[in-house]
Amino acid sequence: MAAPTTRLFFCLRRQERRLISWRRLWGSFRASFSSSSSSLRRELSPGGMRERAGRDPGLFWGSLAREELLWEAPHHTDCQWDFARGTARWFLGGRLNVAVNCLDRHAQHSPDRVALIWEKDEPGTEEKVTYRELLDMTCRLANTLKKNGIKKGDRVAIYMPVSPLAVAAMLACARIGVVHTVVFAGFSAESLAGRINDSECKAVITCNQGLRGGRIIELKKTVDEAVKKCPSIKRVFVAQRTTSKIHMRSHDVLLEEEMAKVSSICPPEIMDSEDMLFMLYTSGSTGKPKGIVHTQAGYLLYAAITHKHVFDLKQDDIFGCVADIGWITGHSYVVYGPLCNGCTTVLFESTPVYPDPGRYWETVERLKINQFYCAPTALRLLLKYGDEYVKKYDRSSLTILGSVGEPINHEAWQWFYDVVGDGRCTVVDTWWQTETGGICIAPRPSEKEAEIIPAIAMRPFYGINPVLMDEKGNILEGGDVSGALCIAQPWPGMARTIYGDHQRFIEAYFKTYPGYYFTGDSAYRTKEGYYQITGRMDDVLNISGHRLGTAEIEDAMDEHPAVPETAVISYPHDIKGEVAFAFIVLKEHTAHPEVVTKELREIVASKIAKYAVPDHVLVVKRLPKTRSGKIMRRLLRRIVTGGVNDMGDITTLDDPSVIAEILDAFENYKAKHPTF
């Protein structure tokens, strides 16, 4: 035990030394700043920052990395990249630990500062966790993992609802160099097993049950079912979220019980900048979800800097991002960004309508939240209940309102601004992806703060260089143009690869427009040079801000023995934004089509997740296909969105009479579903 303890102290002493020298530096920095050095003021202004980042991104991020993070060894090379090979590496030679950056340095300075406010499912039962307590919890959890044979480089799945233990689990992995993969606790056993097997996880960390909107979610049961198919799993760590009894299996470990037995000191594993920090599965247009890989230093720096600047973070701010930790928004803006910046971050366990549609705003009042970050789908849902649910709560603590995950419509933006923000908060529509690691386009920061155009993401973040391409791969210059949204240069937060399949990474992001990162989205650039994201260009759906490939839903449905063929497309929805619309072909002489459609819905829920279940299932005799046999989803979209008079180019369509046939089936379907 002696050796590691000495190492820890050594590490802490070095940290302290560095913090002191930083403070000295910061002091002189501030002194010269206030002595009205106008050039320095210009350097630190959004315009100055943007200009420096544009001039030399490597130098810009390199100096920020030195200033903002605590290093065990400094980096020698800012960035090396080659988009033709799909590579970008940042801060080479640098060594650090992410958990030390998120916990130890704050615990040392201000141990009693609140790190987490766990806004539990029942309103008014919140629990606060200080930086000292979170460090203690993280170290105990890390030691429990180690005691059970989990070591640096191993992968561990986290299947938990938003809670302090889930955050501690992520940071415990980071502390000992284990790669975590958080799986959203709404995914089915089959989805969980797929992710565990793809990344060959050694363990799962879960809870006996979850609690959301007053309803119980059987997490442990789902894990038990999943791990039956996962030979790599050696341990299942189970935390006790509810009082229900845990049915123990041989590889199960009671998490809290074990944590109480181990030391609260855990020496951090010192990691290289480019070692893997976590992977997170996300849907693409083809195949199974991809394990998007993020690394240590670049990801952490980018999450922290975007968090600080887009949300105008002040010391002592209480940051409220209501995303689940199972999505990238939860990783970057519930956990890593806010904790690296040492602020207080809210963990929201409930739903926007529990116990009533005032929940968000009641929480804002009770916790005095300063920045509130949510998805447009929730706003669209809440605005339907009227303004009273908002107005009865005091929202004077709010300064910035953020939106993420999907395009925000004008009505929702205006309601957010006028009603929630009383016309005095800045609304930031933030565009980014699992692959970008952090916000890439947002109205803030800017010199022209007042100049915000409703419902558009507007400005590239420091060092982000967006370009729009036409179909032929030519760069579109100037304003008032639309095209495929690409990014021309690397940034520290970008994904490094797809776990176990770098070739797929290249194909998905760097092949369509050689030399550029292709986002999969299309965008419009205004005359003033601002960006508006217009939607996905590929077969990826966005249901309530959650990504899903149409191919995944088709693959699940294709397993039904009575269904030889399916095609899924996106269909607009008032609240969810988009839903899945499935066209299915049944085997001849199938007796009860309605039974089959019901079974298909169940298959999708059990193979993927409930949110993936198609809202519409239409039985057709056949699908529109090209002469070479490819399904023409474009035509299906036209048929259901009323564009039948303009079907576009149908010269490759095998048999044009299929259009009238499907249209007929669709008219019948509408007649039977009056709410359609």
CB of 529 to ligand 7RM, least distance (A): 18
Among 407, 463, 614, 624, which residue sits at the site for ligand 7RM (rule: CB under 6 A)?
407
298-337 residues near ligand 7RM, rule: CB under 6 A: 327-329
Q: Which residues pair with 373 in a beta bridge?
A: 321, 402
DSSP 570-597: EEEETTTEEEEEEEEEPPTT-S-HHHHH
**x/- string (CB under 6 A) for ligand 7RM, residues 510-529?**
---------xxx--------
Choose one: 236-244, 399-407, 548-556, 651-659; the region binding ligand 7RM (CB under 6 A).
Answer: 399-407
Name which of 565, 599, 607, 602 is nearest 584 in CA terms. 565
User: With respect to ligand 7RM, which residue has the nearer C-beta, 191 or 282?
Assistant: 282
The binder of ligand 7RM chosen from 241, 309, 547, 576 (CB under 6 A): 547
Nearest approach, Cβ of 184 to ligand 7RM (angstroms)? 11
Looking at the Cβ atoms of 50 and 547, the one nearer to ligand 7RM is: 547
- CA separation, residue 119 to residues 218, 363, 475 (Å): 20, 8, 47
Show the binding pattern over residues 351-390: x = contacts ligand 7RM (CB under 6 A), - = does not. Answer: ----------------------------------------
**Conformation bin of residue 153: beta by default, left when phi > 0, alpha when psi is -120 to 50:** left
At closest approach, how far in Å is the CB of 473 from ligand 7RM?
Answer: 20
Q: Which stretch binds ligand 7RM (CB under 6 A): 128-136, 358-366, 400-408, 555-563?
A: 400-408
460 to 489, contacts with ligand 7RM by CB under 6 A? none
User: Judged by CB under 6 A, which stretch of 262-270, 401-409, 487-495, 598-606 contacts ligand 7RM?
Assistant: 401-409
The residues, ordered by sequence, that sit 6+ positions from 84 with a Cβ below 8 Å of its Cβ are 510, 514, 515
Nearest to residue 322, comparing CAs of 368, 363, 279, 278? 363
Which among 130-138, 405-413, 444-452, 641-649 is the span making contact with ligand 7RM, rule CB under 6 A? 405-413
Name the phi and psi angles at 229, rounded to 5. -100, 15
Shorter beta-carbon distance to ligand 7RM: residue 141 or 404? 404
Strand-pair partners of 653: 626
164 binds ligand 7RM (CB under 6 A): no
Q: Which of 321, 533, 623, 639 binds ligand 7RM (CB under 6 A)?
A: 533
The closest residue (CB) to ligand 7RM is: 434
- 550 contacts ligand 7RM (rule: CB under 6 A): no
Residues near 77 by Cβ (< 8 Å), separated by ≥ 6?
91, 92, 93
Single residue of 406, 539, 552, 554 touching ligand 7RM by CB under 6 A? 406
536 is an interface residue for ligand 7RM by CB under 6 A? yes
Joined tokens for residue 274: 């480019």
Q: What is the CA radius of gyration of the chain?
A: 25
User: CA–CA separation, 326 vs 147, rounded Å?
Assistant: 26
d(CA 619, CA 611): 21
Does 544 participate in binding ligand 7RM (rule CB under 6 A)? no
Least distance to ligand 7RM, CB of residue 335, Å: 14
Q: Could you please report the per-residue DSSP string of 32-51?
A: HHHTT-HHHHHHHSHHHHHH
Report the residue number, 255 or 569, with the smaller CB distance to ligand 7RM: 569
The smaller minimum CB distance to ligand 7RM, of residues 327 and 462, is found at 327
Rounded Cα gap, residues 282 and 177, in angstroms? 23
Nearer to ligand 7RM, 222 or 436 (CB): 436
How many angstroms from the chain centroid is the CA of residue 100? 23
Q: Looking only at residues 263 through 292 of this chain, which bind ligand 7RM when binding is defined by CB under 6 A? A: 282
Longest CA pairwise span in the chain (Å): 85
Question: With binding defined as CB under 6 A, does residue 187 bind ligand 7RM?
Answer: no
Q: Is 143 one of the binding residues for ligand 7RM (CB under 6 A)?
A: no
Q: Which of 145, 143, 149 is nearest to 158 (CA)?
A: 145
Tell the smallest beta-carbon distance from residue 173 to ligand 7RM (Å): 21
Minimum distance of ligand 7RM from residue 433's CB (angstroms)? 4
- In the complex with ligand 7RM, the residue whose CB is nearer, 338 or 405, is 405
In contact, 508 and 83? CB cutoff 8 Å: no
Exposed / middle / buried, residue 335 (Cβ in 10 Å: 0-12, 13-18, 19+): buried
8 Å CB contact between 620 and 665: yes
Instruction: Convert residues 617-656 into a mask of x (bound to ligand 7RM by CB under 6 A) and - (unbound).
Output: ----------------------------------------
Count of residues engaged in binding ligand 7RM, rule: CB under 6 A: 22
> In terms of CB distance, is 141 or 439 closer to ligand 7RM?
439
Quick one: which of 78, 43, 76 has its CA closest to 57? 78
Peptide bond into 407 cis (omega under 30): no
List the one residue out of 350, 309, 324, 442 whose CA is nearest residue 119.
Answer: 350
Window contacting ligand 7RM (CB under 6 A); options: 93-101, 102-110, 404-412, 627-635: 404-412
CB of 384 within 8 A of CB of 378? no
Whichever of 101 and 519 has its CB closer to ligand 7RM, that residue is 519
Site string for ligand 7RM, 424-463 (x = CB under 6 A): -----xxxxxx----------------------x------
CB 370 to ligand 7RM: min, Å? 21
Half-sphere exposure of 231 (CA within 13 A, CB side): 0
Residue ranges in contact with ligand 7RM by CB under 6 A: 282, 327-329, 404-407, 429-434, 457, 519-521, 533, 536, 542, 547
